[in-house]
Structure 1
Amino acid sequence: MQTRLLLLTAGAALLGSAAAANVSTTPTSISYRTFHYTCDGGKKISVSYVNFGKNGPLFAVLNWNGQQYGLSQAVSASGARYASLYGPTVSGGGLEWWEHQGQANLNTFVGSDTRNTRALLTGCKTRR
C-alpha cells in the first residue's frame, strides 16, 4: 500500500511540474511495473518503474534495505538512469540507479558532486 501511495504521489508531482511547464497534463494512462533484482553478494532490491501514457518510465521507486526512494529519470549516454539528491543518509549524497543491457547498479553520490559516485550495489539482474 505504501508503494502505491508513493507512486501516486510521484505521479501527481510530475503532472504538477508538467502543468507549470505548460505541457499537456492529461496522460492516457499511468501505470507501473515492478522488477525484483538480485545483485552481487546475493543482495536484493525491487524497483517499480512508473509510466505516463506513451512515455517511457519517467520515475523509479526503489525498495531497498526496508526503505523506499523515489528517483526521477536522468540524462544518460546509454541505458536508463534515475537519480535523486536524497539518499539513505542525511549527510551523504543522493542515489543513482543505472540499468544498461540487462544489468544495473545502485550508486550514491559522493557529497554534492553528482559526477562522483560510490557503488552500493553492483551486478544487479532481474530474478527469474
Structure 2
Amino acid sequence: MKNKVLLLAIAAALLGSASAAAPTYISYRTFHYTCDGGKKISVSYVNFGKDGPLFAVLNWNGQHYGLAQAISASGARYASLYGPTTAGGGLEWWEHQGQADLNTFVGSDTRNTRPLLTNCKPGR
C-alpha cells in the first residue's frame, strides 16, 4: 500500500501541468528482481495513458529512488542524478531482454558508471 501511495504521489506531481481536458490514465507494474549474489531489488514501471513506461521507481536497500526514462541504444534505460550517498553518484537502471543492471555514475560523467547490482532477473 505504501508503494502504491508513493507511485500515485509521484505521478500526480508529474501530471500537475497536464491539461485537465484530456484524461490521463496512470498504471504501473512492479517486478521483483534477484541479482548476482542473491541481492534483491523491486522496480515499478509507471505508464501514462498508452505510452510506455516514462519512469521507474526502484525499491532498493529499504529506500525508494525515482528514475526518468533515458536514451539508450537498446533496451529500457532509466536514470537519475541522485542516488544513495554511499554510491557516490546518480543511478542508472538498464533493462535489456529480461536482464538488468543497476549502476552508479562516477562523478558527474553519466557515461562513466560503476556496477552496484548485476545480472538482475525478474522472479528468480
* Residue 30, structure 1, aligned to residue 29, structure 2: no
Can you give the 5+ residue segments of structure 2 that lack an aligned partner in the other structure? none
* Residue 49, structure 1, aligned to residue 45, structure 2: yes
* Residue 10, structure 1, aligned to residue 26, structure 2: no
d(CA) in 1 for partners of 2:18, 2:71: 18
Displacement of 1:26 after TM fit? 3.3
* Residue 112, structure 1, aligned to residue 108, structure 2: yes
Q: Percent identity?
A: 81
Displacement of 1:81 after TM fit? 0.4
- Give the number of aligned pairs: 124
Displacement of 1:29 after TM fit? 1.2
Q: Larger deviation: 42-51 or 6-15?
A: 6-15
Contact 2:69 2:79 in 1 (8 A): yes
- The alpha-carbon distance between structure 1 residues 103 and 25, as it changes in their structure 2 partners (threshold 3 A), is farther
SS at match of 1:114: strand
Can you give the 5+ residue segments of structure 1 that lack an aligned partner in the other structure? none
SS at match of 2:84: coil
Contact 1:40 1:124 in 2 (8 A): yes
Q: Deviations over 1:23-68 (max 9, x none)?
A: x883441011000000001101000000111000001010000111
Which residue matches 2:73?
Answer: 77
Contact 1:50 1:57 in 2 (8 A): yes
The TM-score normalised by the length of structure 1 is: 0.88
The TM-score normalised by the length of structure 2 is: 0.90
